Structure 1
Amino acid sequence: MSDTDQKMIEALMAKNRELQEENDRLKRQVGNGSTPSGTPAQPSGPKATILTTSDGSGRLSSLISDSVTANLTDEDGEPVKGERIVFMINNKAAGTAITDANGDAVLHTKQYAGDPQAWVQALGGGYTAEYKGSKNYKPSKAYGGAGVSV
């Protein structure tokens, strides 16, 4: 092997080490939530949400003076706290509640009993819980059924 060939091999090996070090540095940055430029990585957009409701059932008098519940989680199943849930009967808002640390929004129907006819309709046709979404989370909707005995 000539001296020229040996120098070429050494230069290529040095360049390879240089590139490997740069690659390792970039991997560390990305692993720390940073982009290659060193700025914080931006989220890919709002997360999907899943809204579920509890079906109400029981005596008419207790349903009108009790509560309905909706639970909001993100796409990873983590509770979403501090978001407003709108409870609707026949496409008309019946009340709102804010999600707690568990993602639960509880609407105490007694405080909205001013229109008992609306809750009677809900017993027959159910209710809808709706999350309108935010900067961080996508909207979602769920249906809650109700069964009643008198």
Structure 2
Amino acid sequence: MSKIMQPQSAIAQREAVSLVARTVQGSAVQGKASPILEAVLTNVFGEGIGGQDIHFFLTGTHADLGSVSTNPEGVARFDVGSHISDIQSMLSGAFNGYTAEYGGSRNYRSATAHGNFNVTI
């Protein structure tokens, strides 16, 4: 598969975005936690950008959690569920947090944001 290179002028014309990953509140009961990760993608005017894929992974281990599309308000919610099942990943997430990543599109630039886990026992 060949990679299509875009002229620098096309890249410069893409609109800047803001990606904010929210702190996740949760409780670890008997070694189980099921947090919902949340990231908000907005344009330069603060308006949500819908229909864009946001990828989530653990910051410390770079463990791939998965992707989800933003809703019309630009909010992407990802239910971690069974994606964090081993104790090492749970601890890494608790200490290092998670990363939300937007790869950009024809119209928008890419963005990355860091979120934290606030887990109580």
* Pairwise TM-score range, normalised by the shorter structure: 0.7 to 0.9
Flag the structure with higher strand content: 2
Gap runs ≥5 in structure 2: 1-11
| Pairwise CA RMSD | 2.1
Number of equivalenced pairs: 107
Name the one with the larger helix percent: 1
Equivalent residues in 2 for 1:54-133 (5 A)? 54-61=22-29, 64-89=33-58, 90=60, 91-115=62-86, 117-133=88-104
Instruction: Give every structure 1 segment of 4 or more consecutive aligned residues whose post-TM-superposition deviation is greater than 6 Å.
Output: none
Identity %: 29
In the superposition, the TM-score normalised over structure 1's length comes to 0.64
The structure whose Rg is larger is 1
| TM-score w.r.t. length of structure 2 | 0.77
| Shift, 1:56, TM fit | 1.1
Alpha-carbon distance in structure 1 between the residues aligned to 2:19 and 2:84: 24
Structure 1 gaps of 5+ residues are 1-43
> Which residue pairs with 1:147 in the alignment?
118
Report Cα offsets for 1:19-58 as digits up to 9, x if no partner. xxxxxxxxxxxxxxxxxxxxxxxxx721101000110123
Q: Is the 8 Å Cα contact of residues 54 and 101 (structure 2) preserved in structure 1?
A: yes
Alignment of 1:21-60 (within 5 A): 45-60=13-28
